[in-house]
């Protein structure tokens, strides 16, 4: 659960605080677990929501708005998915986490919710209080930034 929280909260101590609050909330609401889906998934959702709430409370979640027409600029055809060939084999998990911590809090939150937690852009928009188009735009920009930083990391190795 700490790794899930660290994808949103960059500081170790802040992440540990959210983890502790998360376990308190999990144990306090254990009766609300309905046995639909995995217990781990239910618990992860609580932890992720608390991490987002923590960012929101600290006023770190300030979004970069884009109008709907700008989404074409950041489409998947312009920035295709990273290939998993030998070029990327030199990266470690720490390299990837370090790159993710360089993202703005909003980009990191949208990227994690969409790519890792498998939320839809509609769900992300509702969760973060942004438009669906902004969610898509922020996700595309986060992917682009991560690719650029990871390519730079590979060049320096």
Percentage of residues of the chain with pLDDT beyond 90: 32
147 touches 82 (CB < 8 A) = yes
Tell me, what's the pLDDT at 142? 92
Alpha helices in 2-89 (DSSP H): 2-6, 12-28, 39-57
Structure tokens, 80 = 């295709």
DSSP state of 65: -
What domains lie within the chain, and their CATH numbers?
1-60 (1.10.1740.10), 63-157 (1.10.10.10)
Q: Is the pTM of this model over 0.85?
A: no
Q: Look up residue 6 and give its two tokens.
A: 């660290």
Asked if the model's pLDDT at residue 109 lies above 80, the reply is: yes
- pLDDT-derived band of residue 7, with 50, 70 and 90 as boundaries? confident
Q: What is the pLDDT of residues 73-101, one digit of tens each?
A: 333 343 344 444 556 667 777 788 888 88
């Amino acid at each position: 659960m700490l790794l899930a929280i660290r994808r949103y909260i960059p500081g170790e101590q802040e992440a540990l605080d959210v983890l502790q609050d998360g376990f308190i909330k999990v144990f306090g609401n254990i009766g609300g677990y309905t046995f639909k889906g995995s217990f781990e998934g239910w618990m992860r959702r609580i932890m992720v929501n608390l991490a987002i709430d923590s960012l929101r409370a600290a006023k770190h979640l300030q979004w970069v708005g884009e109008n709907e027409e700008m989404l074409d600029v950041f489409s998947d055809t312009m920035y295709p998915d990273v290939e998993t060939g030998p070029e990327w084999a030199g990266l470690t998990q720490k390299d990837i986490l370090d790159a993710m911590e360089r993202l703005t809090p909003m980009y990191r939150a949208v990227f994690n919710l969409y790519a890792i937690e498998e939320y839809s852009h509609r769900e992300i928009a509702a969760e973060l209080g942004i438009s669906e188009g902004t969610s898509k735009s922020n996700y595309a920009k986060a992917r682009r930034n991560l690719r650029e930083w990871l390519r730079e990391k590979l060049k320096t190795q």
